[in-house]
Structure 1
Amino acid sequence: MKRIVIFASGSGTNAENLIKFFHNREIASVIHVLTNNPHAKVLERAKKLHVSALSFNKIAFTETDIVLDILKSAKPDLIVLAGFLWKFPESLLEAFPKKVINIHPALLPKYGGKGMYGMRVHEAVVSNKETETGISVHYVNEHYDEGAIIFQAKCDVKSSDSAEDVAEKIHKLEMEHFPKVVEELLHV
């Protein structure tokens, strides 16, 4: 059985969706949820679903091998960033080449980069009067949101849509597509 580790920073709806999706599947399971936010709701969600979860600070992530050692002992087949807001250190990317992916709430390369996450993305989409947006699943590299795109799904943006309306459409796309994309990557 393949092993998935999820990194998240916030509420963890994508993490919960992935955990539930792989719960009774033979191909893989989510073995750990890691977060940089000790108050993140994702910790509570993981606990309820009986998945190991822990938080770490910036020093453990970027200045020591603590997180790297956790990952090495976990032996993940895939590391999934699901609403994780910190830039992934090169040392982790080098240790797990082509094994770290991210989901972004826009059609990259538009609306990507440092500081472009969550409602900030949706507000930018609406203020720029975009007619479509979507999600992008991509490999993580040393730059924010610049890794090779694996998958994109689109939705329309109406002129009457608020940022909240766009967020709801994006959430539906994430819930529908993200677990399937992860599963496909595990078959490779």
Structure 2
Amino acid sequence: MKKILLFASGTGSNVENIIQYFKNHHDIIVVGVFTNNPNAKVLDKAKTHNVPTLIFTKEELNEGFVLNKINELQPDLIVLAGFLWKMPEEIVTAYPNKIINIHPALLPKYGGKGMYGMKVHQTVLDNKEKETGITIHYVNEHYDEGEFIFQQKVSIENCASADEIAFKIHELEHNHFPKIIERLLEG
């Protein structure tokens, strides 16, 4: 049995999609949802699907508490699905090539500290890009700089707002993220 541990900070649409995708999978299970946000809607989504949750502070993330909780679960893959804090080097070192992230742009463009969610989509729109997409990558000690696993492009020539871009990106995320996770876990 392969185990996935999810990290998220917000609404959790990707988390819910991943949980549903693996709900009836016999070889892969979601063992927990960890969040830094006690008001995150992802907590309700996890509860709906009977997935255990953990809420933690910045200090708990950086001082070993979260790493201890991860070690208790022994996940095969840690998935950042809308998690906004940088993973401490201690966790990255403990789980080499076992932590992945999804970014709502075609890295290396529009990545780095502060580039997430609607900020990315608005910047892409402001720069009059003709296409954007998603990047799934391994997590290292720097924001959005880990080795790429998968990218998918989408045309945004007809998009007039950041919300329209966000809609297209969410479609890509929901379609590809669970499949890439499955591929990584099944080798």
Structure 2 unaligned segments of length 5 or more: list them. none
1:51 aligns to what? 51
Q: Deviations for 1:107-136, whole angstroms, at most 9, x for unmatched residues?
A: 000000000000000000000000000000
User: Quick one: distance in 2 between partners of 1:139 and 1:93?
Assistant: 10
> After superposition, where does 1:114-153 map in structure 2 within 5 Å?
114-153=113-152
User: Quick one: distance in 2 between partners of 1:103 and 1:159?
Assistant: 24
Q: Deviations for 1:26-79, whole angstroms, at most 9, x for unmatched residues?
A: 1211000000001000011000000001210011001x2210110001000000
Q: Report the identity percentage.
A: 57
2:41 aligns to what? 41
- How does the TM-score come out when normalised to structure 1? 0.98
1:102 aligns to what? 101
User: Quick one: distance in 2 between partners of 1:5 and 1:24?
Assistant: 17
In the alignment of these two chains, the number of paired residues is: 187
Secondary structure of the structure 2 residue equivalent to 1:106? coil
Contact 2:11 2:40 in 1 (8 A): yes
1:13 aligns to what? 13
2:91 aligns to what? 92
User: Quick one: distance in 1 between partners of 2:28 and 2:92?
Assistant: 21
User: Quick one: distance in 2 between partners of 1:55 and 1:66?
Assistant: 11
Give RMSD over aligned pairs: 0.7
AA in 2 matched with 1:30: V
Contact 1:129 1:159 in 2 (8 A): no
AA in 2 matched with 1:76: P
- How does the TM-score come out when normalised to structure 2? 0.98
User: Quick one: distance in 1 between partners of 2:77 and 2:166?
Assistant: 26
User: Quick one: distance in 1 between partners of 2:10 and 2:121?
Assistant: 17
Structure 1 unaligned segments of length 5 or more: list them. none
